[in-house]
Structure formats: structure tokens, C-alpha cells
Structure 1
């Protein structure tokens, strides 16, 4: 006990000595040289954090599970969320983190009088809040970025979708006015990853987003949408050419700044391999002899061949240039790829008279939506994730890459603006010719993907040639939204087009229409999320899971009878 007492006394003396030393240098020690001083922060340093974060997140949606919803792709491994809409609560903290950084960007730009940076911040604010309300429905908006000790701000109330969409539109109008000045005072080269400091292109981007959100609310607020779209069209300032698209290139130095699933950062390219083109997209591309097919999708490694002379119902092994490879059921992706690129033709024969399994014999084969076991499709001999399905197409080789070329996150495109204007013209709004805009939408998409020289042939194809129907327009807009699937989903939600059908293993027999509010909200902001849930529309598909489900209809489609 005496020894402990002496130790405690010594420790006390040492602590007092350290406290005295710290007190003398307290100011110096509390200054962190690695933290930006809010009073002197440079808006240029803040801008890439917001823009790259948004672009990465948007591409993650459009190349991820929403691509499964709109049947651009299906997965044959880890496929529940992608193929079956088997979703769990989804947290939105990433988007609000971006918004907080963006708010800081706007405040600093305002303090310094940097109009260009203010315009960028307003555009990003509109885009991010647009995604939040598009994905979830009602959300914190008015008080979301005013954190202090008031419970209203720590636990912010939810604004209605109507309020949020109207706020988005006003922010985009304000951004458009700032960009219209052409002023780029304070901009430093290389900090704008979208347009390299070109205010005119940002002006087109902001106005194009206005077209997007006016069309988004067109079923609920048609007069507002009509006047807004006509105004933007009459200005002539919007994205008209793929060279003006809002895109982000990938650096490709690490997995974090590379295209998702880049094989350079995986010992086994499973993320690339498990993502397959969906049958509805492949079928449509084949139907129209669409030149984008070979840009996006690879032929099957082993093509099925009907052979009525075959003595067995089906070959037990693959054939190489017609010669059966005894003992070889399949090869790995790494073994197939160089051989196929060198011109080797792999096939597998079956006798259509004695083999009862349905077989797709085409060179390009997609996976049907919502299968119970997608890895077994088309009589795959190597089910599971270890070896790829040799009888189903993979994505094109370009999607193995890390960066460069066509690997871009595309936030807004000339193709999208053209199709929006075509739809507006079909409604009878004063925006010019529906056929002219439709044709421009098709052409812009082909040019985006490097096959613009085939436009004249393609546009004359039966089923592609303009027929003045919304179904045709939405088909082409859906195709052109490849890797930007959120827009196809939100278009489907308000129009019911294309007429997607879920697969047999889907969680419900209709497509979902929203994300589920995250656990952080239900656990810590329960009163406000409960109020928001009360405004969602229940239906036959919400009975089991309740209102906070992916089938509860938000305001933007309530009363429209869409999409189902």
C-alpha cells in the first residue's frame, strides 16, 4: 500500500509538470498543420472533392444495382440486390457528406466573390439533392445543412419532394445566371474535372439539368414543366453535342480512382466476370443490328451449334475449331481470352432432336432478369462464380480497364437532352420537332460510343425509324442510358416504359420505385422519418414490408397510375 501511495504521488507530480509544459505552449500544440483553416480555404481545393465524389457515386449507381433494375445487366454472383431487388435499408450519408463539403465551397466562393465557383456549388447542390429525392422520396432539405445545437438541425425535418424539386430548379436557375456572366475569376487550372473551367459548358450543363428535372415533375406539375422546358429550349443554351457532355475521366492509379471492377486491382477478376449483359438489352440490340452491341458486349466464348447428326444429345466437351477437346469441359477466362482474340473458334454441339434443354445458339447471349440461379443459364457446365459462364456473353473487354477511352462517368449527355426535348415535343410543347430531337438523341448516343458513322443505316432500321410513339422514344433513351441507369429507372417510374417484367425469383412481381430509408434515420431521426413514411403511398406490394419498402410510391408518381 505504501509503495502504491509513493507511485501515485510521483505520477501526480509528473502530470503537473506535463500540464505546466503544455500550458506554456498550448497555442502552438493546438494548431493542426494538416487541417485547412475555414477562413482561408481555397474554393479550388474544395471543388474536386465534390465533383469527383458525385461522379463516382452516380456511376456506381448506373453501373451497379440500378443497372439490374432497368435490365441493362444481371449478375451471376452476389446477385440478390442486383437481379431480385432484395434490398435492405440504404444509408444516404455519403450524399450529405458531399453536400456539407459543397456548402463550404459555396460559402467560401461567396465570401471571395467567385461567381464561377458559386455556380458550380449550386449545380452540384441541385444534382445531389436531386439524387437523394429521386432515390428515397421526401428528405431533409431546408434544414439539412444548418447543423447546430438546435434539434431542428441535428434531427432535421423532411421536406416534401415537391419542395425539394422546386428548390433544385431555383438553384439551377441561379447557377445558370452566374455562368451566363462568363466570369471565372479565381479559377485555377486543373481543378474542374468536368469542363476545365469553361463557364459556357457549365451553363449548358445547368440548363440541361433544368430540362431533366422539369420533365421529372411533368406528370405532377405540367404547367411548371411546360413553361420551364420551353424557356430553356428558347434560350438555346443546353448540351447539344457529346463533346459538351458532363463527364469525369478516371485516373486509373488505384482501385479507388479507377473504373469499377478494373481487373488490374484484382488477383481474380470476379467483379468484372460476375456482371453480365441482360437478355432484354442484348435482344433489343440484336433486333436492331445496333452498332453499340459490339462496343458494350463480348461474344460468348463457346457458341452452341445445333447438329442433328450428333449421336449423343449434347457434347460433353467443348470443340476447338471444330475438333472436340476430350476431357475439356471449359477453360478459364484467362485461358479463353488470348485464344479467342487470336481467332480460335470454340463451339459445343447439341442434337436438337434429342436434347430437350432450351438453348440460345446466338453469338451474343444475355442473362434473363431475376433467375433463381443465373450462373446456370444456357446450360452452363461450370455453375457458380469460380469460372465464367462460357455460353453467356461477358461485357466487352474495355470494361476490364482502369481508365481512358470510353471509361467515363457521364452525369448529363446530349443524348438525354435530345430525348427530353423529343418527349416535350410529343406533348405538344413549343420546342420544335419531335422527330428532329429523337434523331439527334440517337445520333448523339452513337457518336458518344464511337459508332456515329453508322447513324444513317441505323436510323433507317425498322423499329428505329421515328414512328412518333413514346414507347419507341423510351426504348432508345433506355438503350442510350447505358452506365447511366438511374435516368432509365426514373423515366420508367413516371412512364411505365420500357415495359420491364421482373424475373421469377424477384422479390415482387413489379419493379421497385425507391430506396429504403436507412437505419441511421429510423434509429436516430425516427419522428421525422415516420412523418415522411406516412406520406408514401401504400399498395398491394407494400403489405408485407410496410411503407418503408422499395415499392411504396413517393409523391412524384402518386396518382399517376405509373409505373404499375
Structure 2
């Protein structure tokens, strides 16, 4: 693991200087640009940990994982996003890079007796290791961050069992809950404007810690139901000791400064002058059609209406293909056997549609530089570098209520499943500024609570827009939504994990091979054998999910 180097601490200073007012910090170090790890103030490390973790999370949930769960598809450069052509180099280096900085943050906070920073560091440690084990399975954990201490065990660490990592995450979040239980005035060293999530508020960090506890208890619920049940019921029964994110104002989110490509919304057109990254990304037809079926007002917040609808009219003369009043009028012979969507408002791109997805819906300009006026583009706000709705959403009130709805549906003492289901949707509507439509939406037959896990997870999938990783992990665990791979996908079913990267297998061979041997080969693993996105990690082995 020694190849995973620390980011230079001065990046924190640069980020602070560009994005926030950090003049409060100048008194802490006479020469901040030359500060060493042995004397660095935790407030200089904190922005790097928070911003880099958030960017990793949104890059997953707005890019390739959004493709897996069919929130989005791409109509060019699409094989990774649409077809799961991931190759063998899905690196976790940047994840461990954040963790190494976070480890320094924690150790310096212990040395300086900054309990608030210790609590925050444990929350972020849990979040990042949670992502690693969720995505890959077994991973270096106990000895993962000790490469600089010397010794073979530290530079080629063992892979801990996935169950051990989840247990460690839960223990660290319990410890964070205790460390963050004081009033703000009782802590030393808090500088509000370097905390880009919660502005130095320990109460909100404590809620994030306990909400993540719920996330990981539910994550292990199929494998360790007794532990999950006891953990969630303990949290609900002791609300004063375990406060949760139950309102939008407590959501763990991060906005963007919009000063450069590095601190802007991904795939914006401000710093991508060609606009190609925005132009290629389309909402998936699976998602669009579900939203339309439910008359969901969030669709208009997330996507634009199609620019030029298709109209097929049998009364037109053969060979007709012309624009009339902003519509493309076609005689049936001009369509032939092509798969098309004539919806006059919103058209999504079908999942893994073909090797040339840009050709969908009779696009007149297919190819890598296509501009398809017959498929809906994402909302114009996603062209911007920053904005009130352009936020990384690490964990939210909507997610917490959905978790509690599922727990209650299992018969656990978590309150009313119906109430939590309704509160979850309300929280999402509040987030996306459509709260005025909430009552009408909830009155629809397809939305009125039907007491099924399918409905809870489908609504959670919808609410997870731009934060699709949780939707993927829920799909693996429950089989919902019932997503189907498209005709050009690498396999007939959706993948369930990331590849271990080749460098790890080559450099840390013995330990990597041990981890690989514990993956369950499935009929979809094929030539990849153990190290396949279709081999099952411990978390879903023996569950008969998701396929």
C-alpha cells in the first residue's frame, strides 16, 4: 500500500484560499506552506478529506453507477457506463489516499485533544471504508494505513474479511457518536468554515454518524439479521443518545465553489468548453418511464423535454421526413423496424441499447460527437459549475426514513413503515423543490403505500438520483428495482462488484489471491472467474439475490 501516497497538505491551504475564508487559520502556523505532518493543525487537513471524499461519491453516483442502476445512459463513449465494460483496473488508490489523510487528521486530533475532529475523522473513516468494502468486498483494513511504519506486512497488508470491516465501521461510528455528544462550546479547535459539510456543528455530525450506523446495519441485514435488528432497534429506542438525520436541514451534503474544474459539478459545460460530457449523458428510459408512470414532478427538475418530438403518421406520403412546427414528421416507411419513442415530452435512452447508442430514435447525427434532438437532455442546471441543487448528497433524511420503513416492514421496532415511507418521499420532494406537489403525488394508486419492500426500494431508487451507489447496493441486497440488462451489455444481468485492480493482484499477490478465493463464482463470472463483477462477495453469498 505504500504506492498510495498522501496528498500534499498544502492542497488544503490552496482549497481554503480559493473556496472559503481561511484567514482564521493564519494564526495557527507561522509558515503554513511548509508545515509538516508532525505538527500540522487538523483544520488544514479537514477540507481535503471532506472535499475529496465527496467528489469520489458524486463521481460514482452521477457516472458509471448511475449507468448500472439505469438512472442514466450515455449515447457516446458509452461502453463503461452502459455496458459494464470495466476492465481490470478499477483502482481504489484515491479512496485510500483520502483515508491516509484522514488517518493523519485523526492522529493529530488525538495528540491535540481535539475531540470534535476525532469524531469527524471516525465518521469519514467509516464512510470511506464502507465504500471500499461495498464496492470490492474483502479489502485491506486493519493494516491498510501503516505503510510508512515499515515491514512487509504494512506494505502488502492482508485483506480483512468483509464482515470484519463492517463490524469495525459500526464500532467506529459508535465511538464517533460518543465523541460528538457535547455542545459546540465544549470542543477545542473548531473552525467553522473549513467544515464544508456542517460548518463546525457537532450535533449534525453526530446525526450523520448514527444515520450511517443505520445504513450499515441494513447493509448486513441479509447476512447478520440478528445483529442488524438489535442495532437498529437500539438506535430507535434511544433517540436522545442516537439522534438521526430526519429533516432536510440535517442532510450531509456538499456544494461546489465553481472556481475551477476541480471544484465544480462534474460534467459541467463551464470548464468543459465542448460540452461533450454533459451532452453525452442522458436519462435512462427505465427511469424516465417509471417517473412518467407515477406523474413524478421531479422529472422536470432533472431532465429537459425532448427538443424535437417524433411523429409517425400513416397518412403522410411515403418517404416523408420533415420538420413541421418543431416536430419531425415521419411516414411509417421512414421508420421501418427502428426502435423509436414518440413521447412528445420526455424520451430516455434505453439501457445498453446497442453498440451505437447515439443512433437511437433516428438521431440525424449518430457518432461520438452526436447531438440527438430526439432524446431528452438533462436539465440545464447540470451544465453549471455550481448551484443550489448541485450538491453531493452523502446521506439524507430521505434515505434514513426509507431505511426505517424497511426495518419496520421487517417487523422490527422502528416505528410505522407507512409513516417513514411517506416522510422519505416528502424529504426528497423538499430537496428537489417540488413540495407543493407532494399531496397529489401521494394520493396516486401507484404511490399509496402498499406495504411491500418492492415499493420502498423503488421509491428509494428514485430519490437516489445523483447518489446512485446506494441504489446499487440496495439492488444487490433485495433484487429491487427489477432492472434488466440491455442487449449490448457485457452480461445478461447487472454486475454486483468492482474488479480488484491488476496492480494490487501483482504486488500484494498472496493476500489478493486469498481474497479472490473467497468470492463466489457465478454462472455469469465466465472468463473473469473469481475477479469478476459478477462474482459474489460475502455480503450477498447465499442470499439468492439479486439474480
TM-score, with length taken from structure 2: 0.91
Query: Does residue 108 of the first structure (1) align with residue 108 of the second (2)?
Result: yes
Q: Is the 8 A contact 1:314 1:355 kept in 2?
A: no
- Judged with a 3 Å threshold, the aligned counterparts in structure 2 of structure 1 residues 512 and 354 are, in CA distance, closer, same or farther, namely closer
Alpha-carbon displacement from aligned partner over 1:188-234 (angstroms, at most 9, x marks no partner): 12010000011111111000000000000001110110011112222
- Residue aligning to 1:360: 341
In the alignment, structure 2 segments of 5+ residues that lack a partner are: 1-30
User: Matches of 2:313 and 2:145 in 1, distance apart?
Assistant: 67
Task: Please tell me whether residue 351 in structure 1 is matched to residue 331 in structure 2.
Answer: yes
The aligned counterpart of 2:323 is: 318
Return the alpha-carbon distance in structure 1 between the equivalents of residues 220 and 541 of structure 2. 11
The structure-2 alpha-carbon separation of the partners of 1:353 and 1:151, relative to structure 1 and needing over 3 Å to count, comes to closer
Report how far residue 368 of structure 1 moved: 0.6
Deviation readout 1:97-123 (Å, 9 max, x if unpaired): 111110010011111111110000000
Does structure 1 retain, via aligned residues, the 8 Å contact 2:339–2:360? Answer: no
1:33 Cα deviation (Å)? 7.7
CA shift at 1:249, angstroms? 0.5
1:269 to 275, 282, 287: 275
Judged with a 3 Å threshold, the aligned counterparts in structure 2 of structure 1 residues 550 and 354 are, in CA distance, closer, same or farther, namely: closer
Counterpart residue number, 2:15: none
Q: Which SS does the other structure have where 1:411 is aligned?
A: strand
1:371 aligns with 2:391: no
Aligned: 1:408 with 2:408:
no
Deviations along 1:433-482, one digit per CA (max 9) or x if unpaired, are 00000001111111110101111000111211100011111110000000
Q: Are 2:107 and 1:140 equivalent residues in the alignment?
A: no
Q: Structure 1's 167 and 299: CA in aligned 2 closer, same or farther, altered over 3 A? A: same
Tell me the alpha carbon deviations over residues 131-185 of structure 1, each in whole angstroms, 9 at most, x when there is no partner: 0000000000001112222111110000000000000000000001111123432
304 and 154 in structure 1: CA distance in 2 versus 1, 3 angstrom threshold: same
From 188, 205, 214, the counterpart of 1:202? 205
**Aligned twin of 2:34:** 35
Residue 3 of structure 1 aligns with which residue? none
Going from structure 1 to structure 2, the CA distance change for 1:376 and 1:119 (only over 3 Å counts) comes to: same
Q: Which runs of 5+ in 1 are unaligned?
A: 1-31, 323-345
Look up the SS of the partner of 2:254 in the other structure.
strand
The answer to whether the aligner puts 1:469 opposite 2:452 as a matched pair is yes
List aligned pairs for 1:8-87, cutoff 5 A: 34-87=33-86
Aligned residues of 2:77 and 2:368 also touching (Cα < 8 A): no
How far, CA to CA, are the matches of 2:385 and 2:393 in structure 1? 16
Q: 1:39 to 1:471 in 2, by over 3 A?
A: same
What is the correspondence of 1:221-232 to structure 2 with a 5 Å cutoff?
221-232=224-235
Question: C-alpha separation between the residues in 2 aligned to 1:354 and 1:188?
Answer: 65
Is 1:212 the counterpart of 2:215 in the alignment? yes
Give the distance between the partners of 2:237 and 2:194, measured in 1 at CA.
32
Please tell me whether Structure 1 or Structure 2 has the larger radius of gyration of its CA atoms: 1
| SS of 1:263 mapped into structure 2 | coil
Match of 1:490 among 451, 460, 473: 473
- The answer as to whether partners of 2:76 and 2:370 remain within 8 angstroms in 1 is no
CA distance in 1 between counterparts of 2:526 and 2:363 reads 37
- Which residue number in structure 2 is paired with residue 13 of structure 1? none
**Is residue 288–residue 347 contact of structure 2 (8 Å, CA) maintained in 1?**
yes
Q: Is the 8 A contact 2:140 2:160 kept in 1?
A: yes
Q: Distance in 2 between matches of 1:259 and 1:282?
A: 22
Q: Is 1:278 the equivalent of 2:275? A: no
Tell me what 2:129 maps to.
129
Deviations 1:232-280 (A, max 9, x none): 2223310011111100010001011000111011221000000000001
Q: TM-score, normalised by structure 1?
A: 0.88
Deviates more, 1:142-151 or 1:462-471: 142-151
CA distance in 1, matches of 2:390, 2:155: 39
Contact 1:75 1:276 in 2 (8 A): yes
> What does 1:160-309 align with in structure 2 at a 5 Å threshold?
160-182=161-183, 183-236=186-239, 237-309=243-315
Structure 2: distance between partners of 1:314 and 1:191: 61
Alignment RMSD, CA only?
A: 1.4
SS at match of 2:465: coil
Q: Aligned partners of 1:223 and 1:264: how far apart in 2?
A: 50
How far is 1:354 from its partner? Answer: 7.5
CA contact under 8 A between 2:318 and 2:333: conserved in structure 1? no
TM-superposed CA distance for 1:38, in Å, is 2.5
> Matches of 2:225 and 2:170 in 1, distance apart?
14
Deviation for aligned residue 1:404: 1.7
